[in-house]
Structure 1
């Protein structure tokens, strides 16, 4: 995974349900950034939509340590929902905002070469990314399109598919593109902490501090998977992850302009 830094590009990760619920202004800000020469590379998830479709089809699903247990039947639905439904919804919304996007899955052009995770005997066809075809991402960007990547991986044999965690996929893509900072767009303004009886957003926090806050209950409930997902993005060259709310006006522009907004998660 030896890539070169890509100037004027940044990687953004967002859950499929969050992206679908974002206001038009978010995508308009993205289109404005592109016109100014700042091009996002989007890696998206879609867990809730996958679960809903599996339920409709009567296919049982379960999670093991946060990873969806995946067999071929589940994988068919994962690919259909991620690479089809959600990926193309994002492409349409970007197009409606005045920019052009190209939807890709990790299978296309061996974009996300993957191998089984260590506990594959428990979770089945779940993979981790070992190679990213950065040249494909760069080529799409050079043609003027915003790359929108669905995290379905392909094995070295060119046939076996893998269900990839969107956060780890985003971290791998960002690292391969030489990006030190990754933007995670969520439905919360950042990591919250009660200070003097008032909930406030922490401007910066380390991975060790997050684990300590979880242990004593300062981070709890639905926020735990959000911050653990952000931590998963910190790999390779990625040194910090910025968690922001997609409903904030011009949020992407403000992050890239260096405004202290949301929460920065740093390695140490």
Structure 2
């Protein structure tokens, strides 16, 4: 007679999680993902470790993640220590020559290296790149009513270096600093860089880690989360006030990325540990999915 073995509740729960994740692992094997990493997920040690673990697991099950990071709070702290005053216009940092030096030092140096090291300590392979490397990003000066200094926007993306790294099982970590055609570097919004890279890579998914639950009808009430938005609905939802505030540029950027060929865009709460795995590998998911049609997951 075979003795009856009763697994522990923890073991059963683990098995259920793995079984639930299996079809998603199969579906997304080989998928290209661009993850914009910023906000609280970069300032809390436990959240940082959760992100690094998620990225390594994603790569090990056959997905191909690329990380584009911000670093605004660290730039502000470093600038303050150096006696520089931060100025912002419409949420963007005015960047003179001194501030540009700080931006490059922090983004392409300190922050980029910390992320690469974190991924490696979690058991993955990773390499830091900037927009300057192999002409990954060609920038141009951002034009507007006010001169923002060395603030740029993406003119073009050459993703060759990213393809090479991914083919070798290496997770690229991209700093959002890129030169113009004459070699002058510019500070570029990380969301814009992530969207441009996702488009150039023909990514299956663009994932934005934010400090909000996703797109909510009431910004102060997480229970009003909208779990799916079709790209064609975005402007109407902005017009009627459903999408408001800082979510407007994110959602508009998401819709533009989908029109340019990105499979889907996920806006997730980076304050939730393992937000990436919860969205990609569970039936319920979290956050807001923006897609061309209802069939996209």
1:10 and 2:37 aligned: no
1:202 to 226, 229, 247: 226
Cα 1:143/1:16, change in 2 over 3 Å:
farther
**Larger Cα Rg: Structure 1 or Structure 2?**
2
Q: Is the 8 A contact 1:12 1:185 kept in 2?
A: yes
- The aligned runs of 1:67-216 (5 Å cut-off) are 67-119=92-144, 122-157=147-182, 159-194=183-218, 199-205=223-229, 206-212=233-239, 215=241
Q: Is the 8 A contact 2:39 2:210 kept in 1?
A: no
- The aligned runs of 1:234-245 (5 Å cut-off) are 234-235=256-257, 236-238=260-262, 240-245=264-269
User: Unaligned stretches of 5+ in structure 2?
Assistant: 1-29
Q: Is the 8 A contact 1:113 1:156 kept in 2?
A: yes
> Which residue is 2:286 aligned to?
261
Q: CA deviation at 1:106?
A: 0.8
* Farther-moved stretch of structure 1 (44-53 vs 170-179): 44-53
2:42 to 7, 14, 19: 19
> Which residue is 2:246 aligned to?
225
C-alpha RMSD of the superposition:
2.7
Q: When you count strand as a share of all residues, which structure comes out higher?
A: 1
Secondary structure of residue in 1 paired with 2:181: coil
Instruction: Please give the alpha-carbon distance, in whole angstroms, between the structure 2 residues aligned to 1:12 and 1:252.
Output: 9
Q: Is the 8 A contact 1:11 1:41 kept in 2?
A: yes
Q: Is the 8 A contact 2:216 2:222 kept in 1?
A: no
User: Unaligned stretches of 5+ in structure 1?
Assistant: 1-6
Cα 1:173/1:246, change in 2 over 3 Å:
same
1:64 and 2:76 aligned: no
Q: CA deviation at 1:14?
A: 1.6
> Which residue is 2:5 aligned to?
none
Q: CA deviation at 1:128?
A: 1.1
Secondary structure of residue in 2 paired with 1:192: coil
Cα 1:210/1:228, change in 2 over 3 Å:
farther
Instruction: Please give the alpha-carbon distance, in whole angstroms, between the structure 1 residues aligned to 2:204 and 2:234.
Output: 16
